[in-house]
Structure 1
Protein backbone atom coordinates (compact mmCIF):
# COMPACT_ATOMS: atom_id res chain seq x y z
CA UNK A 1 0.00 0.00 0.00
CA UNK A 2 1.31 3.47 -0.89
CA UNK A 3 1.75 6.02 1.89
CA UNK A 4 -0.85 8.33 0.31
CA UNK A 5 -3.51 5.65 0.89
CA UNK A 6 -2.81 5.23 4.60
CA UNK A 7 -5.30 6.52 7.15
CA UNK A 8 -4.61 9.68 9.16
CA UNK A 9 -5.32 10.51 12.81
CA UNK A 10 -7.04 13.47 14.43
CA UNK A 11 -3.60 14.67 15.58
CA UNK A 12 -2.38 14.85 11.98
CA UNK A 13 -5.53 16.67 10.82
CA UNK A 14 -5.00 19.20 13.61
CA UNK A 15 -1.35 19.68 12.65
CA UNK A 16 -2.25 20.35 9.01
CA UNK A 17 -4.89 22.84 10.18
CA UNK A 18 -2.17 24.70 12.10
CA UNK A 19 -0.01 24.76 8.94
CA UNK A 20 -2.90 26.32 7.03
CA UNK A 21 -3.26 28.97 9.75
CA UNK A 22 0.42 29.79 9.28
CA UNK A 23 -0.14 30.11 5.53
CA UNK A 24 -2.96 32.61 6.18
CA UNK A 25 -0.69 34.61 8.47
CA UNK A 26 2.00 34.70 5.76
CA UNK A 27 -0.45 35.89 3.11
CA UNK A 28 -0.33 32.70 1.05
CA UNK A 29 -4.02 31.89 1.56
CA UNK A 30 -7.11 34.06 1.69
CA UNK A 31 -9.71 33.49 4.39
CA UNK A 32 -12.02 31.86 1.84
CA UNK A 33 -9.27 29.49 0.68
CA UNK A 34 -8.43 28.67 4.29
CA UNK A 35 -12.07 27.75 4.97
CA UNK A 36 -12.32 25.52 1.89
CA UNK A 37 -9.11 23.71 2.76
CA UNK A 38 -10.10 23.28 6.40
CA UNK A 39 -13.29 21.55 5.26
CA UNK A 40 -11.08 19.15 3.29
CA UNK A 41 -8.81 18.63 6.31
CA UNK A 42 -11.69 17.87 8.67
CA UNK A 43 -13.12 15.34 6.21
CA UNK A 44 -9.74 13.79 5.30
CA UNK A 45 -9.39 10.04 5.70
CA UNK A 46 -6.02 9.37 4.00
CA UNK A 47 -2.57 10.95 3.70
CA UNK A 48 -3.39 11.81 0.09
CA UNK A 49 -6.47 13.79 1.19
CA UNK A 50 -4.32 15.91 3.51
CA UNK A 51 -1.42 16.40 1.11
CA UNK A 52 -3.63 18.05 -1.51
CA UNK A 53 -4.21 21.10 0.72
CA UNK A 54 -0.45 21.70 1.18
CA UNK A 55 1.14 20.90 -2.20
CA UNK A 56 1.10 24.51 -3.50
CA UNK A 57 2.31 26.16 -0.27
CA UNK A 58 6.10 26.75 -0.40
CA UNK A 59 7.95 26.41 2.86
CA UNK A 60 5.01 24.76 4.67
CA UNK A 61 6.13 21.31 5.79
CA UNK A 62 4.65 18.58 7.94
CA UNK A 63 6.64 17.93 11.09
CA UNK A 64 8.96 14.87 10.86
CA UNK A 65 7.03 12.85 13.43
CA UNK A 66 3.94 13.03 11.21
CA UNK A 67 5.91 12.25 8.06
CA UNK A 68 7.43 9.13 9.57
CA UNK A 69 4.62 7.66 11.62
CA UNK A 70 2.71 6.00 8.75
CA UNK A 71 5.49 4.15 6.92
CA UNK A 72 4.33 1.01 5.03
CA UNK A 73 4.86 -2.13 7.08
CA UNK A 74 4.80 -0.35 10.44
CA UNK A 75 2.98 -2.46 13.06
CA UNK A 76 -0.49 -1.21 13.90
CA UNK A 77 0.35 -0.73 17.59
CA UNK A 78 2.80 2.06 16.66
CA UNK A 79 0.08 4.22 15.19
CA UNK A 80 -1.12 7.16 17.31
CA UNK A 81 -4.31 6.33 19.14
CA UNK A 82 -7.31 8.26 17.81
CA UNK A 83 -8.93 10.76 20.12
CA UNK A 84 -12.23 9.81 21.67
CA UNK A 85 -13.75 13.24 22.14
CA UNK A 86 -14.40 15.31 25.20
CA UNK A 87 -17.62 13.67 26.33
CA UNK A 88 -17.80 10.49 28.38
CA UNK A 89 -20.49 7.98 27.63
CA UNK A 90 -23.52 9.15 29.53
CA UNK A 91 -26.29 7.17 27.88
CA UNK A 92 -27.78 10.36 26.45
CA UNK A 93 -26.44 9.95 22.92
CA UNK A 94 -23.92 11.92 20.93
CA UNK A 95 -23.57 15.70 21.50
CA UNK A 96 -25.65 17.98 19.29
CA UNK A 97 -23.52 19.59 16.57
CA UNK A 98 -23.52 23.34 15.94
CA UNK A 99 -21.41 24.10 12.87
CA UNK A 100 -20.41 27.35 11.17
CA UNK A 101 -18.10 28.27 8.30
CA UNK A 102 -17.45 32.03 7.79
CA UNK A 103 -20.96 32.74 9.06
CA UNK A 104 -23.03 34.13 11.90
CA UNK A 105 -24.29 31.46 14.30
CA UNK A 106 -26.86 32.36 16.94
CA UNK A 107 -28.97 30.47 19.46
CA UNK A 108 -31.24 32.57 21.66
CA UNK A 109 -34.74 32.74 23.10
CA UNK A 110 -36.44 29.55 24.36
CA UNK A 111 -34.22 27.13 22.42
CA UNK A 112 -33.95 23.58 23.70
CA UNK A 113 -30.47 22.85 25.06
CA UNK A 114 -29.19 19.25 24.99
CA UNK A 115 -26.87 17.93 27.72
CA UNK A 116 -23.85 18.14 25.37
CA UNK A 117 -23.00 20.38 22.42
CA UNK A 118 -20.15 20.07 19.91
CA UNK A 119 -19.30 23.52 18.51
CA UNK A 120 -17.37 23.21 15.21
CA UNK A 121 -16.64 26.65 13.75
CA UNK A 122 -14.27 28.43 11.36
CA UNK A 123 -14.01 32.23 11.02
CA UNK A 124 -17.52 32.76 12.40
CA UNK A 125 -19.35 34.99 14.85
CA UNK A 126 -21.08 32.78 17.43
CA UNK A 127 -23.57 33.74 20.15
CA UNK A 128 -25.09 31.13 22.45
CA UNK A 129 -27.62 32.80 24.74
CA UNK A 130 -28.80 30.60 27.62
CA UNK A 131 -30.80 33.26 29.46
CA UNK A 132 -34.19 32.04 28.16
CA UNK A 133 -33.15 28.56 27.08
CA UNK A 134 -35.07 25.41 27.94
CA UNK A 135 -32.68 23.12 29.80
CA UNK A 136 -32.80 19.31 29.87
CA UNK A 137 -30.07 19.04 32.51
CA UNK A 138 -28.48 21.31 35.10
CA UNK A 139 -24.99 20.66 33.73
CA UNK A 140 -24.30 21.35 30.04
CA UNK A 141 -21.03 20.49 28.32
CA UNK A 142 -19.74 22.36 25.26
CA UNK A 143 -16.77 21.00 23.34
CA UNK A 144 -15.27 23.68 21.07
CA UNK A 145 -13.26 22.98 17.91
CA UNK A 146 -12.60 26.42 16.46
CA UNK A 147 -10.40 28.38 14.09
CA UNK A 148 -10.51 32.20 13.88
CA UNK A 149 -13.97 32.71 15.42
CA UNK A 150 -15.44 34.99 18.06
CA UNK A 151 -17.60 32.97 20.48
CA UNK A 152 -19.82 34.67 23.07
CA UNK A 153 -21.75 32.62 25.63
CA UNK A 154 -24.41 34.44 27.69
CA UNK A 155 -25.57 32.86 30.95
CA UNK A 156 -28.42 33.71 33.34
CA UNK A 157 -27.65 35.47 36.62
CA UNK A 158 -27.25 32.43 38.89
CA UNK A 159 -25.40 30.24 36.40
CA UNK A 160 -21.82 29.04 36.90
CA UNK A 161 -19.16 28.07 34.38
CA UNK A 162 -15.86 26.23 34.07
CA UNK A 163 -13.62 27.11 31.09
CA UNK A 164 -10.41 25.53 32.45
CA UNK A 165 -10.66 22.68 29.95
CA UNK A 166 -10.23 24.96 26.90
CA UNK A 167 -6.84 24.87 25.18
CA UNK A 168 -6.14 28.17 23.45
CA UNK A 169 -3.59 28.70 20.68
CA UNK A 170 -2.95 32.41 20.01
CA UNK A 171 -6.45 32.96 21.39
CA UNK A 172 -8.38 34.54 24.26
CA UNK A 173 -10.55 32.52 26.65
CA UNK A 174 -12.30 34.35 29.50
CA UNK A 175 -15.17 33.87 31.94
CA UNK A 176 -16.87 36.70 33.83
CA UNK A 177 -19.29 34.43 35.69
CA UNK A 178 -18.85 32.56 38.93
CA UNK A 179 -16.99 29.24 38.79
CA UNK A 180 -17.02 26.36 41.21
CA UNK A 181 -19.50 23.48 41.56
CA UNK A 182 -23.03 23.80 40.19
CA UNK A 183 -25.55 25.27 42.59
CA UNK A 184 -27.94 27.32 40.39
CA UNK A 185 -30.11 26.54 37.38
CA UNK A 186 -27.16 25.95 35.03
CA UNK A 187 -23.52 24.94 35.22
CA UNK A 188 -21.61 25.15 31.93
CA UNK A 189 -18.45 23.14 31.27
CA UNK A 190 -16.49 24.32 28.23
CA UNK A 191 -13.68 22.18 26.79
CA UNK A 192 -11.88 21.80 23.47
CA UNK A 193 -9.44 23.90 21.48
CA UNK A 194 -9.57 27.46 20.10
CA UNK A 195 -7.05 28.63 17.51
CA UNK A 196 -6.59 32.34 16.74
CA UNK A 197 -10.07 33.07 18.10
CA UNK A 198 -11.83 34.05 21.31
CA UNK A 199 -14.29 32.60 23.82
CA UNK A 200 -16.09 34.90 26.25
CA UNK A 201 -18.48 33.54 28.87
CA UNK A 202 -20.44 36.32 30.52
CA UNK A 203 -23.83 37.61 31.67
CA UNK A 204 -26.00 39.89 29.53
CA UNK A 205 -25.37 43.61 29.97
CA UNK A 206 -28.62 44.08 31.95
CA UNK A 207 -27.54 41.42 34.46
CA UNK A 208 -24.08 42.92 34.83
CA UNK A 209 -25.57 46.36 35.40
CA UNK A 210 -27.91 45.08 38.14
CA UNK A 211 -25.01 43.36 39.88
CA UNK A 212 -22.95 46.52 39.64
CA UNK A 213 -25.62 48.74 41.20
CA UNK A 214 -26.37 46.12 43.86
CA UNK A 215 -22.70 46.02 44.77
CA UNK A 216 -22.20 42.37 43.72
Structure 2
Protein backbone atom coordinates (compact mmCIF):
# COMPACT_ATOMS: atom_id res chain seq x y z
CA UNK A 1 0.00 0.00 0.00
CA UNK A 2 1.46 3.35 -0.98
CA UNK A 3 1.77 5.87 1.86
CA UNK A 4 0.70 8.72 -0.38
CA UNK A 5 -2.76 7.17 -0.66
CA UNK A 6 -3.45 7.48 3.05
CA UNK A 7 -3.76 10.32 5.54
CA UNK A 8 -2.19 10.26 8.99
CA UNK A 9 -5.49 9.04 10.42
CA UNK A 10 -5.53 5.99 8.16
CA UNK A 11 -8.28 7.39 5.95
CA UNK A 12 -7.85 7.54 2.17
CA UNK A 13 -6.54 10.92 0.98
CA UNK A 14 -9.48 13.30 0.56
CA UNK A 15 -11.83 11.11 2.56
CA UNK A 16 -13.87 12.64 5.36
CA UNK A 17 -13.63 11.91 9.05
CA UNK A 18 -16.78 12.07 11.20
CA UNK A 19 -15.30 15.09 13.03
CA UNK A 20 -14.87 17.04 9.78
CA UNK A 21 -18.42 16.34 8.68
CA UNK A 22 -19.84 17.32 12.08
CA UNK A 23 -17.75 20.52 12.14
CA UNK A 24 -19.29 21.53 8.81
CA UNK A 25 -22.78 20.79 10.15
CA UNK A 26 -22.05 22.96 13.21
CA UNK A 27 -20.88 25.86 11.02
CA UNK A 28 -23.91 25.63 8.74
CA UNK A 29 -26.18 25.78 11.78
CA UNK A 30 -24.20 28.77 13.04
CA UNK A 31 -24.75 30.54 9.71
CA UNK A 32 -28.44 29.70 9.92
CA UNK A 33 -28.65 31.10 13.46
CA UNK A 34 -27.14 34.33 12.11
CA UNK A 35 -29.86 34.51 9.38
CA UNK A 36 -27.38 33.84 6.57
CA UNK A 37 -29.81 31.37 4.99
CA UNK A 38 -33.43 30.24 5.12
CA UNK A 39 -34.59 27.10 6.87
CA UNK A 40 -35.17 25.47 3.47
CA UNK A 41 -31.61 26.26 2.39
CA UNK A 42 -30.26 24.93 5.68
CA UNK A 43 -32.08 21.64 5.16
CA UNK A 44 -30.68 21.38 1.62
CA UNK A 45 -27.08 22.02 2.69
CA UNK A 46 -27.28 19.69 5.65
CA UNK A 47 -28.54 16.89 3.40
CA UNK A 48 -25.58 17.53 1.08
CA UNK A 49 -23.17 17.60 4.03
CA UNK A 50 -24.32 14.19 5.26
CA UNK A 51 -24.15 12.81 1.72
CA UNK A 52 -20.69 14.27 0.95
CA UNK A 53 -17.83 11.87 0.25
CA UNK A 54 -14.92 14.27 -0.14
CA UNK A 55 -13.52 17.28 1.67
CA UNK A 56 -14.00 19.40 -1.44
CA UNK A 57 -17.74 18.74 -1.37
CA UNK A 58 -17.93 20.04 2.19
CA UNK A 59 -15.88 23.13 1.39
CA UNK A 60 -18.22 24.00 -1.48
CA UNK A 61 -21.17 24.16 0.93
CA UNK A 62 -19.64 27.16 2.73
CA UNK A 63 -17.89 28.91 -0.16
CA UNK A 64 -20.61 31.57 -0.64
CA UNK A 65 -21.17 32.19 3.09
CA UNK A 66 -19.56 34.96 5.19
CA UNK A 67 -16.68 34.13 7.48
CA UNK A 68 -17.55 32.95 10.98
CA UNK A 69 -14.76 34.61 12.88
CA UNK A 70 -14.57 36.79 15.98
CA UNK A 71 -11.33 38.52 16.97
CA UNK A 72 -9.34 36.20 14.76
CA UNK A 73 -10.76 32.96 16.20
CA UNK A 74 -13.20 30.74 14.30
CA UNK A 75 -16.68 30.85 15.71
CA UNK A 76 -17.94 27.62 17.18
CA UNK A 77 -21.40 26.16 16.81
CA UNK A 78 -24.30 28.06 18.32
CA UNK A 79 -24.57 27.08 21.96
CA UNK A 80 -27.83 26.39 23.79
CA UNK A 81 -27.54 29.80 25.41
CA UNK A 82 -30.28 30.62 27.84
CA UNK A 83 -32.49 33.62 27.24
CA UNK A 84 -32.06 36.30 29.87
CA UNK A 85 -34.31 39.06 31.21
CA UNK A 86 -32.89 41.21 33.98
CA UNK A 87 -34.63 41.98 37.27
CA UNK A 88 -34.11 45.51 38.63
CA UNK A 89 -34.74 45.41 42.38
CA UNK A 90 -34.06 49.17 42.68
CA UNK A 91 -37.40 49.96 41.05
CA UNK A 92 -40.44 50.82 43.18
CA UNK A 93 -43.11 48.15 42.78
CA UNK A 94 -46.76 47.99 43.85
CA UNK A 95 -47.91 45.12 46.00
CA UNK A 96 -51.09 44.64 43.95
CA UNK A 97 -53.08 45.96 41.00
CA UNK A 98 -56.46 45.18 39.42
CA UNK A 99 -57.58 45.11 35.77
CA UNK A 100 -61.30 44.73 35.00
CA UNK A 101 -62.77 44.12 31.54
CA UNK A 102 -66.57 43.77 31.43
CA UNK A 103 -68.10 43.96 27.97
CA UNK A 104 -64.94 45.69 26.83
CA UNK A 105 -61.20 45.45 26.36
CA UNK A 106 -58.26 46.48 28.54
CA UNK A 107 -54.58 46.69 27.65
CA UNK A 108 -51.44 46.87 29.73
CA UNK A 109 -48.34 47.25 27.54
CA UNK A 110 -45.23 49.30 26.86
CA UNK A 111 -42.72 50.05 29.59
CA UNK A 112 -44.43 49.25 32.89
CA UNK A 113 -43.52 47.65 36.21
CA UNK A 114 -45.61 44.56 37.01
CA UNK A 115 -46.86 44.52 40.62
CA UNK A 116 -46.15 41.65 42.95
CA UNK A 117 -49.72 40.49 42.43
CA UNK A 118 -51.83 41.41 39.41
CA UNK A 119 -55.50 40.41 39.22
CA UNK A 120 -57.33 40.45 35.87
CA UNK A 121 -61.09 40.00 35.69
CA UNK A 122 -62.62 39.57 32.23
CA UNK A 123 -66.36 38.97 31.91
CA UNK A 124 -67.55 38.82 28.31
CA UNK A 125 -64.58 41.04 27.53
CA UNK A 126 -60.88 40.82 26.79
CA UNK A 127 -57.54 41.82 28.22
CA UNK A 128 -54.08 42.08 26.70
CA UNK A 129 -51.17 41.88 29.13
CA UNK A 130 -47.92 42.61 27.29
CA UNK A 131 -44.78 41.92 29.34
CA UNK A 132 -42.33 42.29 26.43
CA UNK A 133 -41.12 45.74 27.46
CA UNK A 134 -42.00 45.46 31.13
CA UNK A 135 -39.36 46.23 33.77
CA UNK A 136 -39.41 43.48 36.38
CA UNK A 137 -38.62 44.74 39.89
CA UNK A 138 -39.23 41.36 41.55
CA UNK A 139 -38.27 37.89 40.41
CA UNK A 140 -41.78 36.50 40.99
CA UNK A 141 -45.04 38.01 39.75
CA UNK A 142 -48.37 36.48 40.70
CA UNK A 143 -51.06 36.83 38.03
CA UNK A 144 -54.59 35.84 39.11
CA UNK A 145 -57.22 35.45 36.39
CA UNK A 146 -60.99 35.27 36.42
CA UNK A 147 -62.11 34.88 32.82
CA UNK A 148 -65.78 34.22 32.13
CA UNK A 149 -66.87 34.06 28.49
CA UNK A 150 -63.92 36.27 27.67
CA UNK A 151 -60.32 36.09 26.58
CA UNK A 152 -56.88 37.08 27.85
CA UNK A 153 -53.74 37.34 25.74
CA UNK A 154 -50.45 37.35 27.64
CA UNK A 155 -47.33 38.30 25.67
CA UNK A 156 -43.95 37.48 27.18
CA UNK A 157 -40.40 37.99 25.87
CA UNK A 158 -37.86 35.15 25.62
CA UNK A 159 -36.23 34.71 29.01
CA UNK A 160 -39.36 34.94 31.19
CA UNK A 161 -40.62 31.74 32.80
CA UNK A 162 -44.39 31.14 32.95
CA UNK A 163 -46.17 28.67 35.25
CA UNK A 164 -49.88 27.92 34.87
CA UNK A 165 -51.64 26.59 37.98
CA UNK A 166 -55.24 27.48 37.27
CA UNK A 167 -58.41 25.66 36.24
CA UNK A 168 -60.13 25.80 32.84
CA UNK A 169 -63.78 24.70 32.58
CA UNK A 170 -65.30 24.65 29.11
CA UNK A 171 -62.38 26.86 28.15
CA UNK A 172 -58.76 26.60 27.14
CA UNK A 173 -55.27 27.76 28.08
CA UNK A 174 -52.32 27.64 25.69
CA UNK A 175 -48.74 28.04 26.89
CA UNK A 176 -45.70 28.84 24.71
CA UNK A 177 -42.84 26.62 23.66
CA UNK A 178 -39.78 28.71 24.63
CA UNK A 179 -37.24 29.42 21.89
CA UNK A 180 -34.48 29.13 24.52
CA UNK A 181 -34.52 28.01 28.15
CA UNK A 182 -34.69 30.89 30.66
CA UNK A 183 -31.77 31.36 33.01
CA UNK A 184 -32.15 29.97 36.57
CA UNK A 185 -32.65 33.50 37.95
CA UNK A 186 -35.17 34.53 35.28
CA UNK A 187 -38.36 36.38 36.22
CA UNK A 188 -41.27 34.04 36.86
CA UNK A 189 -44.94 34.79 36.19
CA UNK A 190 -47.09 32.39 38.19
CA UNK A 191 -50.60 32.33 36.72
CA UNK A 192 -53.57 30.95 38.62
CA UNK A 193 -57.34 31.36 38.61
CA UNK A 194 -60.42 30.21 36.71
CA UNK A 195 -61.17 30.22 32.99
CA UNK A 196 -64.85 29.50 32.38
CA UNK A 197 -66.12 29.30 28.80
CA UNK A 198 -63.23 31.50 27.78
CA UNK A 199 -59.65 31.35 26.63
CA UNK A 200 -56.18 32.37 27.78
CA UNK A 201 -53.33 32.47 25.28
CA UNK A 202 -49.75 32.87 26.47
CA UNK A 203 -47.40 33.75 23.62
CA UNK A 204 -43.65 34.32 23.38
CA UNK A 205 -42.70 37.25 21.15
CA UNK A 206 -39.94 39.81 20.86
CA UNK A 207 -40.88 43.50 21.14
CA UNK A 208 -42.39 44.61 17.83
CA UNK A 209 -42.49 41.04 16.50
CA UNK A 210 -45.59 39.77 14.74
CA UNK A 211 -47.13 36.38 15.45
CA UNK A 212 -45.89 35.06 12.09
CA UNK A 213 -42.36 36.32 12.67
CA UNK A 214 -42.33 34.73 16.14
CA UNK A 215 -43.38 31.34 14.76
CA UNK A 216 -40.63 31.45 12.13
CA UNK A 217 -37.98 32.47 14.70
CA UNK A 218 -38.95 29.71 17.13
CA UNK A 219 -39.05 27.14 14.33
CA UNK A 220 -35.57 28.16 13.15
CA UNK A 221 -34.17 27.95 16.68
CA UNK A 222 -35.77 24.54 17.24
CA UNK A 223 -34.34 23.15 13.98
CA UNK A 224 -30.87 24.44 14.75
CA UNK A 225 -30.91 22.87 18.23
CA UNK A 226 -32.18 19.60 16.80
CA UNK A 227 -29.45 19.48 14.15
CA UNK A 228 -26.83 20.08 16.83
CA UNK A 229 -28.23 17.31 19.00
CA UNK A 230 -29.27 19.75 21.74
CA UNK A 231 -32.86 18.52 21.99
CA UNK A 232 -36.06 20.47 21.38
With the length of structure 2 as denominator, give the TM-score of the two structures.
0.48
Deviations 1:37-95 (A, max 9, x none): xxxxxxxxxxxxxxxxxxxxxxxxxxxxxxxxxxxxxxxxxxxxxxxxxxxxxxx8752
Compute the displacement of 1:182 (Å): 7.0
Task: Give runs of aligned pairs for residues 53-72 of structure 1, distance below 5 A.
Answer: none
- The 3-state SS of whatever aligns with 1:158 is coil
Count of residues in correspondence between the two structures: 124
Check conservation: 1:95, 1:116, Cα contact below 8 A.
yes
Q: Go from structure 1 to structure 2 and tell me whether the alpha carbon gap of 1:115 and 1:207 turns closer, same or farther (over 3 Å shift).
A: farther
**1:213 maps to which residue?**
220
**1:197 maps to which residue?**
198
Query: Does 2:154 correspond to 1:153?
Result: yes
Q: Go from structure 1 to structure 2 and tell me whether the alpha carbon gap of 1:191 and 1:181 turns closer, same or farther (over 3 Å shift).
A: farther
- The 3-state SS of whatever aligns with 1:113 is coil
Q: Any gaps of 5 or more consecutive residues in structure 2?
A: 1-92, 206-210, 226-232
- The 3-state SS of whatever aligns with 1:105 is strand
- The 3-state SS of whatever aligns with 1:209 is helix
**1:187 maps to which residue?**
188
**1:122 maps to which residue?**
123
Task: Give runs of aligned pairs for residues 15-26 of structure 1, distance below 5 A.
Answer: none
**1:59 maps to which residue?**
none
Compute the displacement of 1:183 (Å): 2.5
- The 3-state SS of whatever aligns with 2:166 is strand
Check conservation: 2:168, 2:195, Cα contact below 8 A.
yes
Compute the displacement of 1:202 (Å): 1.3
Which has the higher Rg, Structure 1 or Structure 2?
2
Compute the displacement of 1:184 (Å): 5.4
CA root-mean-square deviation: 2.5
**1:172 maps to which residue?**
172
CA distance in 1, matches of 2:94, 2:110: 24
CA distance in 2, matches of 1:98, 1:105: 7
CA distance in 1, matches of 2:142, 2:177: 16
Compute the displacement of 1:207 (Å): 3.6
Compute the displacement of 1:140 (Å): 1.0
- The 3-state SS of whatever aligns with 1:212 is helix
- The 3-state SS of whatever aligns with 1:135 is coil
Query: Does 2:167 correspond to 1:142?
Result: no
Q: Go from structure 1 to structure 2 and tell me whether the alpha carbon gap of 1:140 and 1:172 turns closer, same or farther (over 3 Å shift).
A: same
Q: Any gaps of 5 or more consecutive residues in structure 1?
A: 1-91
Compute the displacement of 1:115 (Å): 1.4
- Between 1 and 2, higher relative CO (CA 8 Å, sep ≥ 6) is seen in 2
Q: Go from structure 1 to structure 2 and tell me whether the alpha carbon gap of 1:152 and 1:94 turns closer, same or farther (over 3 Å shift).
A: same
With the length of structure 1 as denominator, give the TM-score of the two structures.
0.52
**2:39 maps to which residue?**
none
